[in-house]
Chains A and B, each alone.
Chain A
Amino acid sequence: GAGVSQTPSNKVTEKGKYVELRCDPISGHTALYWYRQSLGQGPEFLIYFQGTGAADDSGLPNDRFFAVRPEGSVSTLKIQRTERGDSAVYLCASSLNSGGGTGELFFGEGSRLTVL
């Protein structure tokens, strides 16, 4: 597609439920990033993939959060046993980076997660 696509755009769930958020990056982009943005805050880094592997998952807040990118394209962010504090906009971005860090990120419009 022309840009980064994220689904669903909005997700409302109950505390304790399992949630999956999907990201479809720009075709040909090898790097894929997940960020979380709370109201009034800057994007908080969660995890970064280079190809199929997680190159840096140091931002995942705890073991309830997990992300995969099995074929090096689409990625899924998975949140188990959701808590109200997980409510935020989850942003996905992709980049042509092949290492070196000079490429800009292209962001999707985000998935807004609300945990009741």
Chain B
Amino acid sequence: AQSVAQPEDQVNVAEGNPLTVKCTYSVSGNPYLFWYVQYPNRGLQFLLKYITGDNLVKGSYGFEAEFNKSQTSFHLKKPSALVSDSALYFCAVRDGHTDKLIFGTGTRLQVFP
């Protein structure tokens, strides 16, 4: 069965600094990996996905993520954080055998001015 782990409950970063939100996964086949963001009292919004090809994928709002097969990781990154990036971030994974998308427990990103 597939699973995903987000080891940090919260990440704090100063505005303008780079940010990283960590995610590792476990699947039996090829992974399809996703990042979503959730603002307070809002639904989840899709940020980016890795299906195949280039290990570095770019998404919405200047976010990017790097797929690392050997480390089974898919960390979310942004070169320069904004206060408005403060939100809850979820990593999610499917394997190639099912359409069921499994989410991690989430990481709260707090960007300080």
**A-B complex is real:** yes
What is A's interface to B at a CB cutoff of 8 Å? 4, 31, 33, 35, 40-45, 48, 50, 55-56, 58-59, 91, 93, 95, 97, 99-102, 104-110
The 8 A CB mask of B9-49 against A (1 = contact, 0 = none) is 00000000000000000000000101010000111111001
Query: Is the pair B49, A42 in contact by a Cβ cutoff of 8 Å?
Result: no
Count of B interface residues, CB-CB < 8 Å: 25
Query: Is the pair B46, A42 in contact by a Cβ cutoff of 8 Å?
Result: no
CB distance from B67 to the nearest CB of A (A): 14
Q: In the complex, what residues of A have CB within 8 A of residue B36's CB?
A: 107
CB distance from B103 to the nearest CB of A (A): 4
Other contacts beyond A91-B44, A100-B96: 6, CB < 8 A: A40-B106, A45-B101, A45-B103, A48-B100, A50-B99, A104-B46
Q: In the complex, what residues of A have CB within 8 A of residue B94's CB?
A: 101
Q: In the complex, what residues of B have CB within 8 A of residue A43's CB?
A: 44, 90, 103
Query: Is the pair A101, B42 in contact by a Cβ cutoff of 8 Å?
Result: no
Query: Is the pair A33, B43 in contact by a Cβ cutoff of 8 Å?
Result: no
Taking the complex as formed, is B56 at the interface, i.e. its CB lies under 8 A from any CB of chain A? no
Q: In the complex, what residues of A have CB within 8 A of residue B100's CB?
A: 45, 48, 56, 58-59
CB distance from A109 to the nearest CB of B (A): 4
Query: Is the pair B99, A56 in contact by a Cβ cutoff of 8 Å?
Result: yes
Taking the complex as formed, is B105 at the interface, i.e. its CB lies under 8 A from any CB of chain A? yes
The 8 A CB mask of B75-113 against A (1 = contact, 0 = none) is 000000000000000100011101111111110000000
